[in-house]
Amino acid sequence: MSENSPFNDPANVKEALSGVGYLADDEIATVVYLAERLQKPILVEGPAGTGKTELAKSLATALSSRLIRLQCYEGLDESKVLYEWNYRKQLLRIQVERNEKELTIADDASNWRRIEDDIFSEEFLLERPVLEAIRAKDPVVLLIDEVDRVEVETEALLLEVLSEYQVSIAELGTVRATQIPLVILTSNGTRELSEALKRRCLYLYLDYPSQEREREIVLTKVPEIGEHLADEVVRVISMLRSLDLQKHPSISETLDWARTLVVLGVEHLDASTTATTLNILLKYRDDIDKAQREIARVSPAPVIN
Amino acid sequence: MLDVLTGFVGELRASGLPVSVTEAIDAAEAVTSIGLDDRRALRSALSATLVKSPEHRGAFLRVFDLYFSLRMAPGGHDDEIWIAGEGIDGDEIFVPGRQGSERQATSPQELREAVRRALSTGDAQSLFESAMTAVELFGAVEAERPVGVAYYLHKTLRALDLAGILEQLLAEIDGPVTADGSTIDPLERSMRSRELASNGDLLQEMISDEIARKLVDARGAGAMAKSMRRPLVEDIDFMHASADDLAQMRRAIYPLARILAARLARRRRGRRRGQLDVRATIRRSLSSGGVPLEPQFKHPHPNRPEIFVLADVSGSVSSFARFTVHLVYAISEQFSKVRSAVFIDGVDEVTAIFQRAASISEAIAEVGEKADVVDAHGHSNYGNALRLFEQRYGSTLTKKTNLIVLGDARSNYHAGEPEVLRSLRRRAHRVFWLNPEPRSYWGTGDSIIGEYAPYCDGVFECRTLRQLKEFVDHLA
């Protein structure tokens, strides 16, 4: 696929993504470019709300591919990841056969074999996201969201797909990908993923954005805000992120805050406005208290601790 | 290039990063398709293929800077040299002819002025230039002397008086900013002082990078990497951690606690079946004519242990105690009850401080100030502390309580009174002892861990976050 790869270089990726409203930094662009070149899945990790899922969605839009999404949760199993046989339909098929021919199955061995072949054919196969992505004729982006939520055993189901781009079905044989889908896995890091999974992926750690980039994001998504206020918003956010809090404000919370400030008609941030709207940014009582104390601090913060 | 890459991967492995052969091959492929022109792209490519865990990123960056700073210069561009200025979003900073002599000499006074300006604007380029000038002026890096980056860093910072400059700038924040005499908004002040502090850190980092680069020039990357090799956060020894290390470890605690809590919760939920519920099974069997087709099981009792931490907070082991208490409280919802007491030669319960304080780190700071732990001398006295503990809190221990004692069991030759521990163990469910000293030191000098060991259900060497994590995992 390297010949007809949609991207020539990382800068190209950046452009394409910004075209659909996702501001990627150099790191993101490089990793996406490499994933496309080396035909490897990307494992995206990082704190909540830094645009992991958004990256997959935006890539799908930028590549004008279909997005196939597998939302992971505890207890997810093979029949929801890869494929399942539609057994109601299979039962129906057998019953119809029996009524038509007035035969019992045990009567005729060859007849039974015929029905067996019949009911384990593609017609009775229910595609689940991973198989769907593998068999898709059109270009697709497969998003495996929050992969850290599944058990280690389920994680192993993904290994074959991630390295060989194929799925083995006991009754049908191996299904190979007609075209290599771009696979993106996201993880919130609630548990260590297995070495085997990590080895097969390119790794991208999405941290909170730099002030520069966050400012651009704010200006892109909330254009009414104006440069001056955007500047101040981003500075306050980065100060909050430097505090020792239970949950730091995410990008989406920054945007919510920016929108709120616009609605409130704020033109310039000061201590009291910030203190009264902090609950949009911080979701724990303790965090809010701490931030308020920091904002109202009388003496300058200690420099070196 | 292959040589450089092999050396690089080797150094990563030596620093403790698990890099497999497949990953090394991937890295080579990635480098081939990304090219060598753009240093930042190269770094992203290598990190995407070789580093699969956020905790390893710091070590990766350090090694990368050593291997890919000047190595590329001679064969590559004429006098443009790759330099990583880890500025805001790390824009590539090219410094043409850096080693040339066209840079005019700067006096220390001019430099300080430049540093002041750079710190208050936070401009990455000027910070970087000041860092280079500072090293040139004050560093006097000599390759032959067997001293490391830390030595030159200290020397440069002292000559530059960075701390003094920062202090002055901080004081100026409060000065009359507006003409009409109104004072500065507290938010603005708070932000500026934070920004100044982080700019100061950035400058310090740049100076240290610049020194490292000079040393790499002289000594070669391999040799430098070896001398700068540092253990991963999880493997830093509590007893020998520098202030920097401690800060790094503090940051590592929350992610660690989160992973640990998720695992413990999952494990508990995983045991879905309890004992056979005879009543329910028989009731159910009525629908199948009295034949117990479907056995019913009781819901398992979520068996959350109760924890009582008794921590030695005397100088030698205080940072270990702080980390352990921090971690235990960070996952306290995994336990039915967490209590804690601290001791040196006296003992004081501090549970209330943790309940009251806004955050764990604040509580720990408060414990340091308020806990009444000195009985006579202020030197650890395990015997006295244990006896006082039994007198005051012994009766509150129940058969559910796990008592965890933190300390090196160095009792300054006071009587150990292990029989007190024995009677505590009779009341408690289990008694564990975590010792931050290497096992080989146990029982030497005034260490009396051997006297206590028979009355513990487990004595663990606990020198690093990794060992601490393993213990907590074992406990819950």
Low-confidence residues of chain B: pLDDT under 50:
70-103
In a domain, B87, yes or no: no
**What CA–CA distance (Å, rounded) separates A127 from A220?**
38
Count, residues in chain A: 305
**What CA–CA distance (Å, rounded) separates B8 from A74?**
39
Q: Residue A61: its pLDDT value, please?
A: 93
Q: Least CB-CB distance to A27: which of B44, B259, B359?
A: B44
Q: Same domain for B64 and B156?
A: no
- Taking the Cβ of residue B79 and every Cβ of chain A, the question of whether any pair is shorter than 8 Å is answered with no
Q: Same domain for B219 and B253?
A: no
Q: Which helix (H) or strand (E) holds B432?
A: strand B430-435
Q: Same domain for B114 and B201?
A: yes
- b/e per residue B180-206 (b: at least 16 CB within 10 A): eeeeebbbbbbbbbbbbbebbebbbeb
Q: Same domain for B120 and B61?
A: no
Q: Same domain for B368 and B426?
A: yes
**What CA–CA distance (Å, rounded) separates B17 from B52?**
9
- Taking the Cβ of residue B427 and every Cβ of chain A, the question of whether any pair is shorter than 8 Å is answered with no
Give A4's contacts (C-beta < 8 A, 6+ positions apart).
Answer: none
Task: Write the pLDDT tens digit of every residue in A214-252.
Answer: 999 999 989 998 888 998 899 999 888 888 787 889 998
A149–chain B nearest CA distance, Å: 10
In a domain, B78, yes or no: no
- Taking the Cβ of residue A276 and every Cβ of chain B, the question of whether any pair is shorter than 8 Å is answered with no
* DSSP letter for each residue of B223-237: HHHHHH----GGG--
- Taking the Cβ of residue A190 and every Cβ of chain B, the question of whether any pair is shorter than 8 Å is answered with yes
How many domains does one find in chain B?
4
Task: Write the pLDDT tens digit of every residue in A17-64.
Answer: 999 989 888 899 999 999 999 999 999 998 888 889 999 999 999 999
**What CA–CA distance (Å, rounded) separates A144 from A147?**
6
Chain B residues lying within 8 Å of A202, measured CB to CB: 26, 48-49
Q: Same domain for B427 and B310?
A: yes
Range of the domain at B352: 245-270+304-475
Task: Write the pLDDT tens digit of every residue in A66-110.
Answer: 999 999 988 788 888 888 888 888 888 888 877 776 655 556 677
In a domain, B24, yes or no: yes
Are the beta carbons of A38 and B189 separated by less than 8 Å? no
Tokens (6 digits) for A233:
């918003």
pTM greater than 0.80 (yes/no):
no
For chain A, the structural domain boundaries read 10-74+130-205, 83-125, 211-295
Are the beta carbons of A298 and B163 separated by less than 8 Å? no
Task: Write the pLDDT tens digit of every residue in A158-184.
Answer: 888 888 888 888 888 888 888 889 999
ipTM of the complex model: 0.84
- Taking the Cβ of residue A199 and every Cβ of chain B, the question of whether any pair is shorter than 8 Å is answered with yes
Contact B378, B345 (CB under 8 A): yes
Closest CA to A17 of A2, A3, A30, A1: A30
CB atoms inside a 10 Å sphere around CB B43:
21
In a domain, B149, yes or no: yes
Chain B residues lying within 8 Å of A195, measured CB to CB: 18, 20
Are the beta carbons of B52 and A274 separated by less than 8 Å? no
- Taking the Cβ of residue B44 and every Cβ of chain A, the question of whether any pair is shorter than 8 Å is answered with yes
Chain A residues lying within 8 Å of B20, measured CB to CB: 195, 199
Q: Same domain for B218 and B291?
A: no
Are the beta carbons of B47 and A38 separated by less than 8 Å? no
- Taking the Cβ of residue B246 and every Cβ of chain A, the question of whether any pair is shorter than 8 Å is answered with no
CB atoms inside a 10 Å sphere around CB B282:
12
Give A228's contacts (C-beta < 8 A, 6+ positions apart).
Answer: A267, A268
Instruction: State the sign of the Cα–Cα–Cα–Cα dihedral B27, B29, B32, B38.
Output: negative
Chain B residues lying within 8 Å of A73, measured CB to CB: none
Burial of A15 (0-12, 13-18, 19+ CB in 10 A): middle
Q: Same domain for B377 and B412?
A: yes
- Taking the Cβ of residue B195 and every Cβ of chain A, the question of whether any pair is shorter than 8 Å is answered with yes
CA A215 to each of CA A209, A234, A254, B125, B456: distance values in angstroms, whole numbers, following the listed order: 9, 6, 10, 20, 57
Q: Same domain for B256 and B193?
A: no
Q: Which of residues 17-36 of B touch A (CB under 8 A)?
A: 18, 20, 22-23, 26, 29-30, 33-34
In a domain, B95, yes or no: no
Q: Which amino acid is at A117?
A: D
Task: Write the pLDDT tens digit of every residue in B222-253.
Answer: 777 777 677 777 788 877 777 777 777 877 77
Instruction: State the sign of the Cα–Cα–Cα–Cα dihedral A249, A251, A253, A254.
Output: positive
Count, residues in chain B: 476
Using pLDDT thresholds of 50, 70 and 90, give the confidence band for residue A259: very high
CA B426 to each of CA A75, A87, A111, B399: distance values in angstroms, whole numbers, following the listed order: 42, 60, 74, 9
Contact B329, B354 (CB under 8 A): yes
Q: Same domain for B313 and B413?
A: yes
- b/e per residue B222-255 (b: at least 16 CB within 10 A): eebbeebebebbbebebeebeeebbebbbebbbe
A302–chain B nearest CA distance, Å: 8
Interstrand relation of A83-85 and A125-127 (parallel, antiparallel or unpaired): antiparallel
Are the beta carbons of A290 and B194 separated by less than 8 Å? no
- Taking the Cβ of residue B359 and every Cβ of chain A, the question of whether any pair is shorter than 8 Å is answered with yes
Q: Same domain for B389 and B466?
A: yes
- b/e per residue B320-349 (b: at least 16 CB within 10 A): bbbbbbbbbbbbbebbeebbbbbbbbbbbb
For an interface test with B, give the residue of A28, A36, A202 to mutate (most B CBs within 10 A). Answer: A202
Q: Residue B445: its pLDDT value, please?
A: 84
Q: Which residue is associated with the tokens 């410094």?
A: B95
Provide the CB-side half-sphere exposure for A224 (13 A, CA).
Answer: 11
**What CA–CA distance (Å, rounded) separates A28 from A13?**
9
- Partners of A144 in beta bridges: A70, A185
Contact B472, B462 (CB under 8 A): no
**What CA–CA distance (Å, rounded) separates B83 from B128?**
10
Q: Same domain for B294 and B318?
A: no
Q: Residue B143: its pLDDT value, please?
A: 66
For B101, the 3-state DSSP assignment is coil
Task: Report the 3 state secondary structure along chain A.
Answer: CCCCCCCCCHHHHHHHHHHCCCCCCHHHHHHHHHHHHHCCCEEEECCCCCCHHHHHHHHHHHCCCEEEEEECCCCCCHHHHCEEECHHHHHHHHHHHHHHHCCCHHHCHHHHHHHHHHHCCHHHEEECHHHHHHHCCCCEEEEEECHHHCCHHHHHHHHHHHHHCEEEECCCEEEECCCCCEEEEEECCCCCCCHHHHHHCEEEECCCCCHHHHHHHHHHHCHHHCHHHHHHHHHHHHHHHHCCCCCCCCHHHHHHHHHHHHHHCCCCCCHHHHHHHHHHHCCCHHHHHHHHHHHCCCCCCCCCC
CATH of domain A10-74+130-205: 3.40.50.300
**What CA–CA distance (Å, rounded) separates B364 from B356?**
12
Q: Which amino acid is at A191?
A: R
